[in-house]
Amino acid sequence: MKRAWVLLAGVVGLSFASAVRAGPCTPVDTFFAQHLDTSIPALAGIPAKMQAGDVAGAEKIFADYLRATLKPDVLNRSWLEKKYTEKERQALKKSADKTMSYLLSSCGMPHQFPQGKIDWDANPTFNKYREWTWQLSRHPFWTELAEYYTLTKDGQAAKVWVDQISSWFDQAACPEKQPYNATHCWRTIEAGIRMEGWSHQVHAFLKAPEVSDEFLTRYFISIWEHGWRLRGNLSHGNWLLMELHGLLRIAVLYPFLKDAPAWEAHALKVLEGEFDRQVYPDGFQYELATGYHGVVISNYLGVYNLYEQLGRPPPAFIRTGLERMFEVYAKLRRPDGRTPSLNDGSEEKVASWMRRAQRLYPARTDFRWLATNGTEGAPPDGLSCVFPYAGAVVFRSSWNEDAVWGYLDGSPFGRGHQHEDKLNFLLSAYGRNMLVEGGNYMYDSSDCRKYVLSTRAHNTIRIDGLDQARRKTYTWHDADIRKPADVKFAGTPRVDIAVSAYGDGYGKDLYKAVHQRKVLFYKQEKGLAPFFVVIDRLAASDDKPHAYEQMWHLEECTLLVKDGTFTGDFGLGTALFAAQADPGAKIVDMKGQQAPYYQGWMPIWKGGPHEHRPIPTPVVCGSFTGTKRLVTVLYPYKDGAKKIRGVKASPSVDAKTFVLVLTDGTVRSLSESS
């Protein structure tokens, strides 16, 4: 079943009048007298004009100064120098036409506002998804409109920009005593984000006839208010980086504001400190979400690039600090060139990130190799690796497209955007992503959102139908950024071994069972292709019988469950065979289950409404009393070369060996320590 995001079409009674609030907060005379540096010779005539009551004259002096000193040819150079194809021109016009007709999008979801009337408090989504309203005030559509104007000088684009942003000024007064996450239009994350887009917009429209002196004054009153709110209400995490980027744009681009030097100094000081506060020594940002890791990189890069654009030396600490963050994407890279989607993250294109990294670190031949998909440079040194602080373990047979790749989550809970997914395991092989997880979903209260956050959306184990429950008691401490993760890793030419555990409780009552997972990656086992053995040890805190569910989420494939094993056929000759050694267990495919709870789904995003699709999800259901050892072999193969038929192992947690049963009838005894 696909669950589409349904929007109310057309104009739908938005209560426009009730949403209007007076603005802006700062009067013109206060702005000119207290916040503008009129010691600048070109602005020195403003106080006399204001004293004489000639507001229009003062605004003209200010606007003339802006038109003479701001540098569109520098800030918007990429637009001015770009050689647009006809296809790109048409795409840009299509986007601009939507904005000029008041068809605006937020979170990839469009809504048609009445011509000339935007309600910035509107929420036309079927479930009142709050992000839609918040993100509407990021205003990305105006940046596209500004690029269109730069290309065409279409006066209607300038007029619409003035009209629409003026409506935002009218409704969205800067709050004086609201925390960083309050109000529809002035959360500090939006305030920081829109300062990048606004800077390109004002430089594009600066000299348009439709942009009056009065409007420019009003616009820069709002710019000062953005700086004031950001300076006084900084938050934490990836939000903080977006806020600081916005604050620095104000300070660096508009030095005629009296507060600019102090804002710049403060923003740079905090930005430098955040590398130690937010980034583990192994390079992973502390939210441990692949997408938000990139958000942090992007905002540091935005600051670095801004200084370069303006001919100023970029802060040296940014180049020093970003290198290890870029390395995270290099190490996580799957054979398909993307990262896995971790926590509230996304599958990031590694080549795209490496192209950005290559500019800062031209001597890194591995970055060049990754940026060019192997046509230049040299592949990274090493294969499998561990992030000793972030807790991630990556297994890799080679850097080729048909490599066998695995991932074990031995991570701490991190800070923000967490999933209850300790000991999750992912697997890709021979050009196919085989073992996947439930991914990410919009930040609402739907069953699918609850699912992706839960243990049952990941390839780990539930106890008595209960999920992991770190969120209930976990508290982040700043010292945690320097605390090694609960993960051990060792590698030899033959086998890589990683171990981690979860013991922080299950369910609302925090039942204290312990789950330890050991993953062995056999890279050079005689006669066999690279494969994994996953060994789970369960320990209850009482002597009562307990149920376990060992979950495996497969990318779309043909699933065959037979005699305690399952095989996923991924087409083009690729397959994954799995066998577990518990003879009392049964395997149930929970693909697309909705009741009694969601199981077996993969959210999808197509640049618009969220949906989700069912995926094969074999769940091994068994029981234990006291302790139990579960041994699972995961054997990816291609072209029919299945070499393993099953696995046998003692359920005793003290046992250290297991036996592979091969398809030719022979058996092979292996040890956990080799």
pLDDT tens digits for range 568-588:
999 999 999 999 999 999 999
**Same-domain pairing of 540 and 558:** yes
CATH label of the domain that carries residue 349: 1.50.10.100
CA neighbor of 72 nearest in space, from 253, 312, 279, 194: 253
Q: Which of 551, 560, 548, 533 is nearest to 647 (CA)?
A: 533
Question: Which of 232, 254, 273 is the endpoint of a domain?
Answer: 232
Distance CA 196, CA 341 (A): 27
d(CA 608, CA 106): 9
pLDDT in tens, 244-286: 999 999 999 999 999 999 999 999 999 999 999 999 999 999 9
Q: Residue 391 corresponds to which tokens in the numbers above?
A: 């807790």
Tell whether 27 is covered by a domain. Answer: no
Rounded to the nearest integer, the mean pLDDT of the chain is 94
Distance between CA atoms of residues 475 and 135, nearest Å: 28
Residue 174 confidence (pLDDT) above 90: yes
Same domain, 497 and 580: yes
**Under DSSP, is residue 378 helix (H, G, I), strand (E, B) or coil?**
coil
Which has the closest alpha carbon to 424: 489, 346, 502?
502
Percent of the chain with pLDDT over 90: 92
Regarding whether 389 and 358 lie in a shared domain, the answer is: no
Q: Which residue has 């409780």 as its token pair?
A: 505
Q: Are residues 632 and 490 in the same domain?
A: yes
Contacts of residue 52, Cβ cutoff 8 Å, sequence gap at least 6: none
Q: What is the reported pLDDT for 25?
A: 79
CA angle 67, 73, 78 (to 5 degrees): 140
Helix, strand, or coil here: 101?
A: coil
- Is 11 part of a structural domain of the chain? no
pLDDT band at residue 146 under the 50/70/90 scheme: very high
**Are 528 and 566 in the same domain?**
yes
412 and 355 together in one domain: no
CA gap 507, 494 in Å, rounded: 39
Give me the DSSP letters along 225-252. Answer: HHHHHHHH----HHHHHHHHHHHHHHHH
Question: What does DSSP assign to residue 511?
Answer: B
Q: Which residues span the domain enclosing 275?
A: 234-380
Helices and strands of the chain, counted as H and E runs: 19, 25
Closest to 416 measured CA to CA, from 588, 559, 536, 287:
287
Residue 18 pLDDT: 27
Q: Are residues 375 and 401 in the same domain?
A: no
Q: Which of 204, 232, 260 is the last residue of a domain?
A: 232
Number of compact structural domains in the chain:
3
Residue 287 has a pLDDT of 97
| pLDDT attached to residue 594 | 94
Q: How many CA atoms lie within 13 A of 240 on its CB side?
A: 20
Question: What is the Cα–Cα distance from 329 to 283, expressed in whole angstroms?
Answer: 10
Average pLDDT over residues 325-345: 97
- C-beta neighbour count of 497 within 10 angstroms: 22
Measured between alpha carbons, how far is 618 from 588 in angstroms, rounded to an integer? 5
CB contact at 8 A, 420 and 455 = yes
Q: What is the band of 609 on the pLDDT scale with cuts at 50, 70, 90?
A: low
How far apart CA 407 and CA 218 sit, in angstroms, is: 52
Question: What integer pLDDT is reported at residue 607 of this predicted model?
Answer: 53
C-alpha 633/C-alpha 654 separation (Å) is 19
Cβ atoms < 10 Å from Cβ of 276: 12
In eight-state DSSP terms, residue 31 is I
Which residues are bridge partners to 560 per DSSP? Answer: 567
Contact 25, 173 (CB under 8 A): yes
Please say if the pLDDT value at position 605 is more than 90. Answer: no
Q: What is the pLDDT of residue 606?
A: 59
Q: Would you state the torsion angle of the CA atoms of residues 250, 254, 255, 261, taken in this order, to the nearest 10 degrees?
A: 0
Do 355 and 227 share a structural domain?
A: no
Determine, yes or no, domain membership for 574: yes
List the structure tokens of 610.
């969220």
Structure confidence at residue 431 as a pLDDT band (50, 70, 90): very high
Measured CA to CA in angstroms, residue 460 lies from 184, 263, 425, 620 at distances of: 38, 47, 7, 11
> For residue 64, is it within any domain?
no
Question: In a 10 Å sphere around its CB, with 0-12 CB exposed, 13-18 middle and 19+ buried, how is residue 356 labelled?
Answer: middle
Cross-strand partners of 496 = 491, 521
401 & 355 share domain: no
15 located within any domain: no
422, 457: one domain: yes
- What does the alpha-carbon distance between residue 267 and residue 261 come to, in Å, rounded to a whole number? 10
Under DSSP, the state recorded for 333 is -
For 389-399, how does the pLDDT look when each residue is reduced to its tens digit (9 = 90+)? 999 999 999 99
Q: What letters, b where the CB count within 10 A reaches 16 and e where it falls short, cover 468-484?
A: bbbeeeeeeeeebbeee
SS3 category, 384: coil
* C-alpha dist (Å) from residue 208 to 90, 146, 218, 221: 22, 11, 16, 19
SS3 of the chain: helix, strand, coil, percent, to 5? 35, 25, 40
Work out the angle at residue 21's Cα, subtended by the Cα atoms of residues 19 and 26, and round it to the nearest 5 degrees: 155
Please name the residue that has the structure tokens 């320097």: 482
Say if CB 228 and CB 247 are below 8 A apart. no
pLDDT of 9 > 80? The answer is no
Contact yes or no for 325/297 (Cβ under 8 A): yes
**Residues 255, 142: one domain?**
no
For residue 522, being part of any structural domain is answered with: yes
> In the predicted model, what is the mean pLDDT of residues 86-100?
98
Pairing of strands 531-539, 514-522: antiparallel
Residue 591 is part of a domain; what is its CATH number?
2.70.98.70
Mean pLDDT of 621-628: 98
Q: Is the pLDDT of residue 649 over 80?
A: yes
Q: How far is CA 544 from the centre of its chain?
A: 42
User: For residues 294 and 310, what is the distance between their CA atoms, to the nearest angstrom?
Assistant: 24
Confidence grade of residue 17 (pLDDT, cut at 50, 70, 90): very low
Average pLDDT of the segment spanning 472-495: 96
Alpha helices in 405-515 (DSSP H): 447-453
Instruction: Choose the final residue of a domain: 213, 232, 251.
Output: 232
Q: Indicate whether 65 belongs to any domain.
A: no
Alpha carbon distance 157, 154 (integer Å): 6
In a domain, 6, yes or no: no
How far apart are the C-alpha atoms of 422 and 502, rounded to whole Å? 6
Which token pair is 428?
A: 């890709």
Q: How many residues does the chain have?
A: 674
**What is the chain's Cα-based Rg?**
28
Please tell me the distance from the alpha carbon of residue 191 to that of residue 183, in angstroms, as a whole number.
11
Taking 60 as the threshold, does the pLDDT of residue 14 lie above it? no
180-216, pLDDT tens digit by residue? 999 999 999 999 999 999 999 999 999 999 999 999 9
How does pLDDT run across 18-61, given as a tens digit for each residue? 233 334 479 999 999 999 999 999 999 999 999 999 999 999 99
Residues 372 and 400 in one domain: no
